[in-house]
């Protein structure tokens, strides 16, 4: 039997009209709304930037090429840098030329020739106008299918790469910190082997929901197999650690029942990486140098600065690798502590079973073994 796949309901994108001609705006709005799209209109570049910052889903922007103080193509490039949602652009121009259309295609934009037409309708009723918008919607839908995981509502790695671009651009421009949490699920392989892929997939969905409840709407989750990466834009070290604590809290509230009489409460080892703000203000361009990413590790309640790692931050994966390294440190510490606790428990249990005359000798052995376990744990942390 194949894995269960979650069908995500498609929400029609918002159409945003950016044009200085009020007559064109009103006519276009009426035609677009008849096709079931929500429409926003503006003649201001500044308002267009505000709109893209407030988006809560995919959008189609129709932008006039000849805008005051800038061009439609330039505005498109600016909007691409700040949005975290999928956007398709259609350049609207009454006087196309080969250079402008070539530039539009280069940045992935379609174009529509806004002529007056026989009836002065700007060619809006020719059928081509709506075809452009419907084609943009189709491409948005296909893109979302590739960018969204079919098992959970998390993004795929491809989707994560896409969302990372505007976050990186904002961080570099404004010097704001960006954080990343790598969550590795404890014991997931054993659950998958025992209860099967379908049950394991359902558990992944519940875990993704728990993580989503612990983060903000501007944050996003990327699935890496049985691991999850949480990206936290404009988030400091202290704030990232609070989010990590909330993730642990919400995971502890999950009660997954794979079969009757069995309840699984998932847990995860969390690694945190911070792209520090002080290192962002004078960043080199891509490929021209290195920046510093600070990694954090430890159980969330007692996180300490572990190391500073030099990374040539070429893409999203570099920050993820830093968080992944810190997660393994956490996992090793957890295992060492668990082993020490188990060893102590075994010794204490043996104490109860011994005769009174042997109690003193056994207590001495117990103290020695506990000391040995703690020394081993400290050695592991030092080596990491």
Given CA atoms 336, 338, 342, 348 in this order, what sign does their dihedral have?
Answer: positive
CA dist., res. 75 & res. 93, Å (int): 14
CA dist., res. 82 & res. 119, Å (int): 39
Mean pLDDT of 242-258: 90
Given CA atoms 146, 149, 154, 156 in this order, what sign does their dihedral have?
Answer: negative
pLDDT band of residue 299 (cuts 50, 70, 90) is very low
CA dist., res. 369 & res. 384, Å (int): 23
b/e map 214-224, b = 16+ CB within 10 Å? bbeeebbbbbb
Mean pLDDT of 232-259: 89
Burial class (CB in 10 A: 0-12, 13-18, 19+), 171: buried
Bigger pLDDT: 365 vs 307: 365
**pLDDT over threshold 50, residue 305:** no
The predicted-structure confidence for 93-103, as pLDDT tens digits, reads as follows 887 777 888 88
Q: Which of 48, 43, 36, 41 is nearest to 12 (CA)?
A: 36
CATH 3.10.440.10 fits 157-331, yes or no: no
pLDDT band of residue 116 (cuts 50, 70, 90) is low
**pLDDT over threshold 90, residue 114:** no
Q: Facing residues of 59 across strands?
A: 14, 87
The predicted-structure confidence for 73-95, as pLDDT tens digits, reads as follows 888 888 876 665 678 888 888 87
Best-predicted range by mean pLDDT among 17-31, 90-104, 269-283, 296-310?
17-31
The predicted-structure confidence for 166-180, as pLDDT tens digits, reads as follows 777 777 777 778 888
Q: Judge contact between 294 and 312, C-beta under 8 A.
A: no
**pLDDT over threshold 80, residue 260:** yes
Q: Which 8-state DSSP code applies to residue 127? A: S
Mean pLDDT of 278-299: 39
Q: Which of 170, 7, 157 is nearest to 80 (CA)?
A: 170
CA dist., res. 169 & res. 183, Å (int): 25
Q: What is the dihedral of CA 123, 128, 130, 134, to 10 degrees?
A: -160
**pLDDT over threshold 80, residue 240:** yes
The predicted-structure confidence for 13-29, as pLDDT tens digits, reads as follows 899 999 988 888 998 99
Radius of gyration of the chain (CA): 27
The predicted-structure confidence for 184-239, as pLDDT tens digits, reads as follows 888 888 888 899 888 988 999 999 999 999 998 888 899 988 889 999 988 888 89
Model-level pTM greater than 0.85? Answer: no
pLDDT band of residue 63 (cuts 50, 70, 90) is very high
* Strand pairing report for 256-259 and 227-232: unpaired
Q: Judge contact between 275 and 178, C-beta under 8 A.
A: yes
**Region of residue 194 (phi > 0: left; psi between -120 and 50: alpha; otherwise: beta):** alpha
CA angle 269, 271, 275 (to 5 degrees): 165
Q: Judge contact between 275 and 313, C-beta under 8 A.
A: yes
Burial class (CB in 10 A: 0-12, 13-18, 19+), 167: buried
CA dist., res. 100 & res. 106, Å (int): 10
The secondary structure of 134-179 as a DSSP string is HHHHHHHHHHHHHHB-SSSSSBPHHHHHHHHHHHHHHHHHH---EE
Best-predicted range by mean pLDDT among 58-67, 360-369, 374-383?
58-67
Fold designation for 14-147: Rossmann fold (3.40.50)
CA dist., res. 10 & res. 85, Å (int): 14
């Amino acid at each position: 039997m194949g894995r269960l796949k979650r069908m995500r309901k498609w929400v029609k994108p918002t159409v945003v009209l950016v044009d200085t001609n009020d007559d064109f705006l009103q006519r276009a709005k009426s035609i677009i709304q008849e096709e079931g799209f929500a429409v926003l209109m503006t003649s201001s570049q500044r308002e267009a930037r505000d709109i893209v910052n407030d988006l809560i889903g995919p959008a189609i922007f129709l932008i006039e090429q000849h805008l005051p103080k800038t061009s439609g193509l330039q505005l498109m490039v600016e909007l691409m840098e700040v949005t975290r949602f999928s956007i398709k652009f259609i350049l609207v121009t009454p006087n196309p030329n080969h250079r402008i259309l070539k530039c539009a295609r280069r940045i992935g934009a379609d174009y529509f020739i806004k002529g007056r037409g026989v009836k002065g309708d700007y060619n809006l009723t020719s059928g081509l106008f709506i075809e452009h918008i419907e084609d943009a919607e189709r491409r948005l839908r296909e893109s979302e299918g590739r960018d969204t995981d079919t098992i959970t509502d998390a993004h795929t790695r491809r989707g994560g790469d896409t969302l990372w671009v505007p976050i990186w651009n904002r961080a570099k421009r404004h010097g704001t910190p960006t954080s990343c949490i790598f969550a590795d699920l404890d014991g997931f392989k054993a659950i998958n082997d025992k209860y099967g892929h379908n049950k394991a997939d359902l558990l992944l969905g519940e875990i993704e929901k728990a993580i989503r409840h612990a983060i903000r709407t501007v944050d996003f989750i990327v699935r890496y197999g049985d691991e999850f990466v949480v990206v936290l834009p404009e988030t400091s070290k202290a704030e990232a650690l609070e989010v990590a604590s909330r993730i642990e809290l919400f995971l502890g509230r999950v009660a997954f029942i794979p079969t009757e009489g069995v309840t699984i409460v998932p847990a995860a080892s969390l690694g945190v990486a911070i792209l520090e703000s002080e290192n962002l203000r004078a960043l080199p361009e891509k490929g021209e140098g290195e920046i510093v990413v600070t990694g954090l590790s430890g159980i969330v309640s007692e996180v300490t600065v572990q190391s500073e790692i030099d990374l040539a931050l070429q893409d999203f994966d570099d920050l993820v690798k830093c968080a992944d390294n810190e997660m393994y440190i956490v996992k090793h510490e957890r295992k060492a502590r668990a082993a020490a606790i188990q060893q102590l428990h075994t010794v204490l249990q043996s104490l109860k079973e011994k005769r009174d005359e042997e109690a003193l000798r056994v207590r001495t052995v117990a103290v020695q073994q506990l000391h040995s376990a703690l020394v081993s744990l400290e050695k592991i942390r030092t080596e990491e």
